[in-house]
Amino acid sequence: MESFNLIIGGKSVATTDCFDVINPADKSVIACCPKASVAQLDEAVAAAKAAFPSWSALTYAERRDHLMQLADAVETRADMLMTMLTKEQGKPKKGFADLGAGFELGGALAWIRATASMALEPETIQDNDLARIELHRKPLGVVGSITPWNYPLLIGIWHIIPALLTGNTVVMKPSEMTPLTVLCFGEIAKDILPAGVLNVVTGKGDIGAAMSAHVDIQKIVFTGSTPTGKAIMKSAAVTLKRLTLELGGNDAGIVLADADIEAIAGKIFATSFINNGQTCAALKRLYVHESVHDELCAALTTIAKSMKTGNGLDEDTDFGPLQNEAQLNIVKALAQDAKERGANFLCGGEVVDETGYFYPITLVNNINDGARLVDEEQFGPILPIIKFSDIEEAIASANRLSVGLGGSVWSTDIEKAQSIGSRLDCGTVWINNHAMVQPDAPFGGVKDSGFGIEFGEAGLKEFTSIQTMQVFKS
């Protein structure tokens, strides 16, 4: 069995304890992951703190050079990283519409390179005979990154690359469900980045809690559940940490009567079931006008019935297993509630393979607001389709939950779709698409979906403080 180590101060560090990492496709143990102690977390934070002065003193161009070298080094290990992703997360290496491990790896490379190409330059607020006033942005110090199990490498890149580019140093804790790909990434990075600039510690909730309260960590970036985000916020208040919290969602899509069903069915399917539905910004509630409801249901069902769910290492697999048993049980419970309410299952809905955490692609209609499947984030391959007749009711339904990550409107009338989209209470609205993110487009949630912005210049600014410099000329 392959061995793994923590990355602290540019070195591989062993631990005295470890925990099992499970392959969700067959429930086998694929590795014993090093379990960091709180003392080792303290060592990682100390290493990051010690590396901060020299790393922050570099220019953007110098830090960019390191990050571009990192992208090149990761690319040379692409196949190894993709295989590890498939083994620990479950997603196929290729998968439906090429949205599997290769998609995550390619996205990580694109994000490193695109983000590393950015910079925050000083801004001149005033320049006259009296004075020149400038706005400068300075790095914060040590940033703590806590990442989830659905996109372990890609979301890690989303956290650490803007932090590093802006001059911060990082201590990173991946989910205990999927720590191995990130540890492999850390091994690659330690040979590219100066010692202590990026540290990777693996463990369970005690490590994340200790990071949130650590006096020498200036900011926490967290992607995960709303309850955990609230716990981090409470803990971080003691040291007045800055926070970026990208929390749970339950994104609604609204399909208008004039939508071109043939044109949009494939997009709706792909953006609902991307990563087997285990995507924060996936389309999770689909409100469809009654005039096109049956046509869209039929089109989606045809696509769904052509999909193969299985082991992600098999080349012809479209969708892999859910990542863990707890998430599988959530999906099963939501499906059971829908059945008890008389919902209609167009396809799927029953576990047929128990060798792994498999659940088939499932479409459900004849369901309404109030059902658990509609009101709770399923984070799995099951989509509720709700028929509506009045657009005002659909907008109210989309907005009635406490979350607000993303939303979408599907129509051939772009102006009308934009008008409706502007009324949705969410951080991102897509027109005739969903769940698409890119490095230069700011992304973040509202309400219980968190706060803070990722991506683009706005995302870079989240990792800096403002220093106003006033230069008087006489």
Is 280 a catalytic site residue?
yes
What residues are paired with 32 via a beta bridge?
20
What angle separates helix 101-116 from helix 152-165, to the nearest 10 degrees? 10
pLDDT score for 474:
83
Q: Which residues of the chain have pLDDT under 70?
A: 1
User: Computed from CA positions of residues 371, 376, 381, 384, in that sequence, does the dihedral angle turn out positive or negative?
Assistant: positive
- What radius of gyration do the chain's Cα atoms show? 23
Token reading at 58? 């570099």
**Cβ distance 385 to 362 under 8 Å?**
no
pLDDT score for 1:
66
Q: Which of 176, 246, 377, 454 is catalytic?
A: 246
User: Computed from CA positions of residues 257, 263, 265, 270, in that sequence, does the dihedral angle turn out positive or negative?
Assistant: negative
pTM for this model (two decimals): 0.97
pLDDT score for 216:
98
Q: Which of 280, 297, 426, 454 is catalytic?
A: 280
Structural domains in the chain, sorted by start: 6-247+449-472 (3.40.605.10), 251-438 (3.40.309.10)
Q: How many residues are given for the chain?
A: 474
Is 297 a catalytic site residue?
no
